Amino acid sequence: MQEITEEDLSIDWYEILQIDSGATDSEIQTAYRKLALKYHPDKNKTKEALEIFHKLKKAQNYLSNPKIRIQIDSKLITMREKKKREEEMDEKRRKMKERLIQKENEWQEKQRQKNQLKAQKGMTEKIKQDGLKSIENFKQKYTNKIFNQKIQNDPKEELNRTIRIQWKQKNNKIQINESNVLNHFSKFGKISKIKLGKKKGIIVFDSIQSIPFVTENEIQKTSLFTFRIKKLDNLEKKKKKKRPSNFKQKENPKDNIIIDTSIDTETLENLVFKKMKMAQSKSNQKI
């Protein structure tokens, strides 16, 4: 009695004969003969053809046996249902995987947009802060500039930046000039103006911060000159203290020139310098 092994039951014998599972006995025999002629050992002596021929013979015998065919059909149905379930499961997995990938991509896109928005906000805030800082710096510079201009144009302030110098020459052949003065006093700060007489002169510095340094030593010596230094505003204060409360300026003053700090800077300098010349002339007359 012919039987079929479990291994053979797992094979689709209809597929080997290239027929449908509902084929009749006649269709089974016709299909077998057709393929057997092609792979018969007498016509095709290859090893592969021999293996196919043996499978064709098995398929013809199994499917021609009603009892074995029932077993084959039952097993085939089970296999096909299993395959279908696997395919459906694979499809579900595939769709699930696609959904997961899609959700992952959507999440990443949201994160990217969120980070981009955060970066844009940060950049906007930085630009805003930089702009505010620039405006504040500009306002500060402009305010300082206006303030400095007012200070520079204020005669009182210029007095605070002015010193009076007297000098003695170590060599009478060498005369004092702006170059000599600038060479010595520029180390204390930038000088804006220099006016020199025969024995006296005034120096105006750009900054009041230079004054404490230049007036630290009243006597300063160089290789050519010895300088005596006085702060001009101190001199004016002393003169004001000595002046009586009922003091009135003479119509034609010769020895005294009253400094009115409300006048412009140029006039003030000329008055101070004129006074210095008058004092020098008076000193020479006494000699």
CA angle 260, 261, 262 (to 5 degrees): 90
Question: What CATH architecture is 6-64?
Answer: Orthogonal Bundle (1.10)
- Beta-strand relationship, 162-169 and 225-231: antiparallel
Averaged pLDDT of the chain? 81
Q: How big is the chain by its Cα radius of gyration, in Å?
A: 59
Residues in CB range of 283: below 8 A, 6 or more apart: none
User: Tell me: the pLDDT tens digits for 216-244?
Assistant: 878 888 877 788 888 876 665 555 555 55
Q: For residue 212, is pLDDT > 90?
A: no
Dump strand ranges (E) for the chain. Answer: 162-169, 191-196, 200-205, 219-221, 225-231
Q: Which residue ranges make up each domain of the chain?
A: 6-64, 155-286
**How many Å apart are CA 184 and CA 223, to the nearest integer?**
10
pLDDT at 174: 77
Q: For 155-286, CATH number?
A: 3.30.70.330
**How many Å apart are CA 90 and CA 199, to the nearest integer?**
112
Q: What is the pTM of this model?
A: 0.35
Q: For residue 175, is pLDDT > 60?
A: yes
Q: Which carries the bigger pLDDT value, residue 51 or residue 137?
A: 51
Q: For residue 277, is pLDDT > 70?
A: no
**How many Å apart are CA 31 and CA 19, to the nearest integer?**
7
Q: For residue 287, is pLDDT > 60?
A: no
Split at pLDDT 50, 70, 90, the class of 256 is very low
pLDDT at 262: 47
pLDDT at 258: 40
User: Tell me: the pLDDT tens digits for 85-99?
Assistant: 999 999 888 898 999
**How many Å apart are CA 61 and CA 105, to the nearest integer?**
57
- For the sheet with 200-205, list strands across it: 191-196, 200-205, 162-169, 225-231, 219-221
pLDDT at 280: 64
Query: Are the beta carbons of 35 and 56 closer than 8 angstroms?
Result: yes
